[in-house]
Amino acid sequence: MNSQWLKSHPQLQLVDENDLDELFDQIITKIPNLAERKQKALENRPRYFKVIEALCQSVDQTLEQITAGSPVIYEGNSVIEWHFFTDAGHFYMLDLGDQALMFSESKQQVSSIDVSHLAEE
């Protein structure tokens, strides 16, 4: 049913895969206030994203992707363990409020930074 609905949609445009980038560029030029929207999106990123970026900067790595968050108990407290990839591999972080810890896949601590300046969610 979904494919039938899509095929009959009045605004359906069939585009060759090789022409997609050009089409996307055309669409982007029509977005009003794009620079302001991008800036607002940067400012409104969730805390975990900002913490992960700060940890990556502290070890001179480039964040590539945040993959998942899962609840864990760390030193008797319930926290979210956020997993992410950088240009150096897979890591995870724990946000402890004023401090954030970055660990390698082998559970070795890689970095510890002060994140007290970041607003709580």
**70 and 91 assigned to the same domain:** yes
In three-state form (DSSP H/G/I as H, E/B as E, the rest C), the secondary structure along 71-120 is EEEECCEEEEEEEEEECCEEEEEEECCCEEEEEECCCCEEEEEECCCCCC
Per-residue pLDDT of 77-113, as tens digits, reads 999 999 999 999 999 999 999 999 999 999 999 999 9
**33 and 61 assigned to the same domain:** no
Q: Give the residue numbers spanning the domain of 29.
A: 2-42
Residue 119 lies in a domain: no
Residue with tokens 């206030």: 33
**52 and 85 assigned to the same domain:** yes
- pLDDT at 121 > cutoff 80: no
**19 and 78 assigned to the same domain:** no
**108 and 62 assigned to the same domain:** yes
**50 and 89 assigned to the same domain:** yes
**50 and 38 assigned to the same domain:** no
**What is the pTM (predicted TM-score) of this model?**
0.74
pLDDT value at residue 86: 98
pLDDT value at residue 104: 97
Q: 113: Cβ–Cβ under 8 A, 6 or more apart, which residues?
A: 54, 55, 58, 99, 100, 102
Per-residue pLDDT of 8-46, as tens digits, reads 999 998 999 999 999 999 999 999 999 999 999 988 999
What tokens were used for 58? 């502290």
Residue 120 lies in a domain: no
Q: Give the number of other Cβ atoms within 10 Å of residue 98's Cβ.
A: 10
pLDDT value at residue 99: 97
